[in-house]
Amino acid sequence: MARTYKFQTQARELLDLMVYSVYSNKDIFLRELISNASDALDKLRLESMRNDDLKPLVGAPEIHLSADSKGRTLSVSDNGIGMNEEDLKAFLGTIAKSGSREFVNLLKEAKGSQEQAELIGQFGVGFYSSFMVADRVVVETKKAGEEQAWTWESTGDGTYLLGKGERGEHGTTVTLHLKDVDDESGIRDFTQEWVLREIVGKYSDFVPHPIILPIERQEMAKDEEGNPMEDGEPVTVVKAETLNSMKAIWTRPEKDVTEEEFNDFYKHLTHDFQDPMLRISSKAEGMSEHRMLLFVPTKAPYDLFYREAEHGVDLYIRRVFIMHDCKELLPFYLRFIKGVVDSEDLPLNISREILQQDRHISIIRKNVIRKVLGALKTTLEEDRKKYETFWAQFGPVFKEGLFQDHANNKDLLPLVLFDSTHSATEKTTLAEYIERMKEGQEAIYYLTGKNRQAIESSPHLESFKARGIEVLLLSDAVDELWVPSVHEFQEKPLSSVGKGTVDLGSEEEKKKEEEELKEKQTQFKSLLEFLQKTLDDRVKEVRFSTRLTESPSCLVGETYDMTPQLEQMMKAMGQDVPVAKRILELNPSHPILEHLEKRYQANAEDPDLSDAAELLFGQAVLAEGGQLPDPGEFARRLSKWMLKAMEG
Ligand code: ADP
Ligand code: MG
């Protein structure tokens, strides 16, 4: 007896999107079903290495297609791992993948079919894509090693039927009751041999198991010796034909493979519909024998920042597929790399635990990093434009390496591109920055902030601008994380213009400025003390500096203090951040200071003075893009002063 179950809400939403899909490339449903069948075959083989009972079940792994043009059905069948009742509920009744909620939302919001297509392609909506072309889907399945078979069936209306089934052999058959052919919406006649041939050739050629279709041919009848008879009647013969080439493209010499074949392989692997930006292939012998065929996509996938999403490269051992997204082969900051690594040395029954300590794996990993960084370096040197497009897509991810992979920092840093005050449009490398450094300039200066515009208008830059000293503008969230741990490049220290004291200019200039500052500091001593007292709970020091040329005030930190952006990020992540008091720097040549001094000398109790202290502090916070602890209070003070100014 079959029972009716409801799909999980998210699964239902995704199903609805499929049933009413405007996405015109409906052909991909077959790619998805074949890829599930192929996965199921791999799973059975891997499982049989752990479970001896399953060993005899691993026969010849095959995927069979069968089409009935009169009954308008198409089925995809495998002799893989199969599913039991629980599996069917968990795998076909819900979306278990992380990030799927976001995906469904993205898909709902996607504008037009092109954008939907991109998303569907990247996520590989999988099994549910069947409902783009079928109005009823039946799954007959039996889990390897179990007695009971199961039948699952749905019309995509929000519920499915699940009950005991009759299937004899382990594995799964998915049968689609096809919708009517409709060229306009992309529903072709998927029962036609040539249509199936074309789709398999396009999307599934590299699947490592045979995809078999019975082909009917009219042949002349043959005589007893097997020779066609001259005047015999034609007879129908059925031959099983393998539609895919299954070739392991990475084992062929690179020069024998066309660009198009490489690109097709990449698309097969990633479900991306664009060609990759970069290809990296290499063969290693000696300590560890392995090959790699890696790609940098043209566009960052939407789930690059979901921790649990599947990224990275597939591991093969002697041409046999072992696993997707083998994390041990690739550091996390290179997770945008796609492709295949094939090892000659590892045992086929390798487990996750062994992977983590295996000597070969660590050799391969080092080699992968070396090759990827090498290819990026070459691109930077030889094709700057291409490198910039790479950087725009993957720069923020790549920069994670600067704090995750200290050992490789010296190879990573030269590959980092920066916005800089040097140019409004062009990016710069650190080496290029150093070439432009002024005589006597000792450090590489930078400032972090929310975005380029906010950083550029920050008061901290004023004296650097006035002196024509270049400052790097760091506005990716990740910059806050790596900058504190990278201290120098080519022996030049990296120095934040928002921290510490500034000492620009020649020795003579510095000396003169210092003296002037000292003098002012003495002259305004009691005013500074008053300001310090008023703001004591928020600033650790009030001092004059040469950092400012136009603004009256700014906030700075000590060299190893957190930046306000980092503080905000930590708070947003729910972490306790100790309140760090910063230093309020004042511009001694600003007229406001002169006025304040006069007022203070006339009457040290003047109530306007504490207001002024608050406003100086508040505007310093705002000018660097920070958040005021009490914006309402600040606004009230400001209005009061505006009124005063207007009333004269
Ligand atoms: P994905 O393949 O990305 O996990 P799908 O929607 O394509 O997502 O499939 C969902 C799940 O259903 C699979 O992960 C698998 O566990 C199960 N499944 C689908 N098809 C088969 C099959 N032919 N044999 C065994 N399990 C299958
Ligand atoms: Mg799938």
> Tokens standing for 165?
């089934």
Instruction: Determine the atom of ligand 1 nearest the C-alpha atom of 174.
Output: 23
Among candidate residues 45, 647, 643, 553, the one with its CA nearest the CA of residue 323: 45
Q: Which long-range contacts link 12-18 to residues 24+ away (Cβ below 8 Å)?
A: 12/158, 13/104, 13/108, 14/95, 14/100, 14/104, 14/107, 14/125, 14/128, 15/128, 15/131, 15/156, 15/158, 17/104, 17/107, 17/108, 18/125, 18/128, 18/129, 18/130, 18/131, 18/132, 18/156
pLDDT on residue 118: 66
Give me ligand 1 centre to Cα 139, in Å: 11
User: How far is ligand 2, taken at its centre, from the CA of residue 579, in Å?
Assistant: 49
Q: What is the pLDDT of residue 100?
A: 65
Cα 172 to ligand 1 centroid, rounded to whole Å: 10
pLDDT at 122: 61
The predicted model gives 559-580 an average pLDDT of: 78
What average pLDDT does this structure show over 424-430? 96
Query: What atom in ligand 1 is closest to the CA of residue 124?
Result: 3
What pLDDT score does 296 carry?
97
Q: Which of the four pLDDT bands, split at 50, 70 and 90, describes residue 624?
A: confident
Q: Kindly report the protein residue whose alpha carbon is nearest to atom 4 of ligand 1.
A: 126
Q: Which of 268, 266, 264 is nearest to 279 (CA)?
A: 266
Ligand closest in space to the Cα of 128: 1
The segment with the largest mean pLDDT, out of 16-20, 243-247, 399-403, 626-630, is: 399-403
In this structure, of 135-139, 271-275, 538-542, the range with the lowest mean pLDDT score is 271-275
Average pLDDT over residues 393-421: 95
Is pLDDT above 80 for 367? yes
Residue 67 CA to ligand 2 center (angstroms) comes to 21
Nearest CA to ligand 1 atom 23: 37
Instruction: Quote the pLDDT of residue 124.
Output: 59
What's the gap in Å between 40 CA and the centre of ligand 2?
Answer: 10
Structural class in CATH, domain 3-222+231-242: alpha beta
The protein residue with its alpha carbon nearest to ligand 1, atom 1, reads 126
State which amino acid sits at residue 35: S
| Separation between Cα atoms, residue 419 and residue 50, nearest integer Å | 53
Q: How confident is the model at residue 123 (pLDDT cuts 50, 70, 90)?
A: low
Among the bound ligands, the one closest to the CA of 324: 1
Residue nearest to atom 19 of ligand 1 (CA): 36
Rounded Cα distance between 137 and 155, Å, is 6
87: CA distance to ligand 1 center in Å? 9
Listed ranges 42-46, 164-168, 201-205, 314-318; the one with the highest mean pLDDT: 164-168
Domain spanning 249-382 has what CATH number?
3.30.230.80
Q: Which pLDDT belongs to residue 228?
A: 78
320-323 and 313-317 beta bridge pairing: antiparallel
To test the pocket of ligand 1, the residue of 30, 86, 91, 324 to mutate (highest count of ligand atoms within 8 Å of its CB) is 91
CB-CB neighbours of 214 under 10 Å: 13
- Going by alpha carbons, the residue nearest to atom 27 of ligand 1 is 36
Of 30-34, 177-181, 234-238, which gets the smallest average pLDDT? 234-238
Query: CATH number for the 507-647 domain, one of 3.30.310.160, 2.30.40.10, 1.20.120.790, 3.40.50.620?
Result: 1.20.120.790
Q: Which of 323, 315, 352, 349 is nearest to 52 (CA)?
A: 349
Q: How far is the CA of 230 from the centre of ligand 1 (A)?
A: 51
- Ligand 2 center from residue 271 Cα (angstroms): 11
Proportion of the chain above pLDDT 90, given as a percent: 58
Closest ligand to residue 76's CA: 1
User: Whose C-alpha lies nearest to ligand 1, atom 10?
Assistant: 91
Task: Give me the pLDDT at residue 393, please.
Answer: 96
Contact partners, residue 212, CB within 8 Å, separation at least 6: 62, 63, 64, 65, 240, 241, 242, 243
Residue-wise pLDDT tens digits, 155-197: 999 999 999 999 999 999 999 999 999 988 889 999 999 999 9
pLDDT of the residue at 529: 94
Residue minimizing CA distance to atom 20 of ligand 1: 36
Residues 6+ apart with CB under 8 A from 78: 37, 38, 40, 41, 61, 62, 63, 64, 171, 172, 173
* 230 pLDDT higher than 80: no
Q: In this predicted model, which residue has the larger pLDDT, 431 or 513?
A: 431
Among 76-90, 210-224, 246-260, 302-316, which stretch is predicted with the lowest mean pLDDT? 302-316
CA 127 / ligand 2 centre spacing (Å): 6
Q: Is the pLDDT of residue 42 over 80?
A: yes
Lowest mean pLDDT among 102-111, 325-334, 489-498, 585-594: 102-111
87 alpha carbon to ligand 2 midpoint, in Å? 14
Does the pLDDT value for residue 98 go beyond 60?
Answer: no
Q: How far apart are CA 422 and CA 619, in angstroms?
A: 27
Q: Could you tell me which residue, 322 or 43, shows the higher pLDDT?
A: 43
Q: pTM here?
A: 0.76
Pairwise CA distance, residues 506 & 448, whole Å: 26
Average pLDDT over residues 430-457: 92
Pocket test for ligand 1, best of 14, 32, 83, 127 (most atoms within 8 A of CB): 127
Output b/e per residue, 588-620; b: 16+ Cβ within 10 A: bebeebeebbeebeeeeeeeebbbbbbbbbbbb
Q: In a mutational test of the pocket of ligand 1, which residue from 7, 39, 132, 324 has the highest number of ligand atoms less than 8 Å from its CB?
A: 39
In the prediction, which pLDDT does 121 show?
59
Pocket of ligand 1 (CB under 6 A): 32, 36-37, 40, 78, 80-83, 91-92, 124, 126-127, 172
Does residue 73 carry a pLDDT above 70?
yes
- Does the pLDDT value for residue 489 go beyond 80? yes
pLDDT band at 84 (very low <50, low <70, confident <90, very high): very high
Q: Where are the domains of the chain?
A: 3-222+231-242, 249-382, 507-647
The atom number, within ligand 1, closest to the CA of 92 reads: 12
Distances (CA, A) of 476 to 97, 397, 442, 566: 28, 10, 25, 11
Ligand 1 atom 5: residue of nearest CA = 126
Q: Kindly report the average pLDDT of the chain as a whole number.
A: 89
Contact criterion met (CB below 8 Å) for 275 and 287 = no
Q: Are 284 and 385 in contact (CB under 8 A)?
A: no
Identify the nearest ligand to the CA of 94 by its number.
Answer: 1
Residue 579 contacts residue 610 (beta carbons within 8 Å): no
Give the separation between CA 583 and CA 531, rounded to whole angstroms: 12
Q: What is the reported pLDDT for 60? A: 92
Tell me the average pLDDT across 425-454: 93
Q: Which of 264-273, 430-439, 591-600 has the lowest mean pLDDT?
A: 264-273
Q: Residue 445: pLDDT band by 50, 70, 90 thresholds?
A: very high
Rounded to an integer, the average pLDDT of 457-479 is 92
Residue 152 · residue 59 · CB < 8 Å: no
Q: Do domains 3-222+231-242 and 507-647 have the same CATH topology?
A: no
- Mean pLDDT score, 402-414: 92
**CA of residue 302 to ligand 2 center, whole Å:** 18
Residue nearest to atom 21 of ligand 1 (CA): 36
Q: Which of 18, 28, 32, 36 to mutate to test the pocket of ligand 1 (most atoms within 8 A of CB)?
A: 36
Most confident of 6-10, 135-139, 549-553: 135-139
Average pLDDT over residues 287-316: 88
Separation CA 256–CA 249 (nearest Å): 10
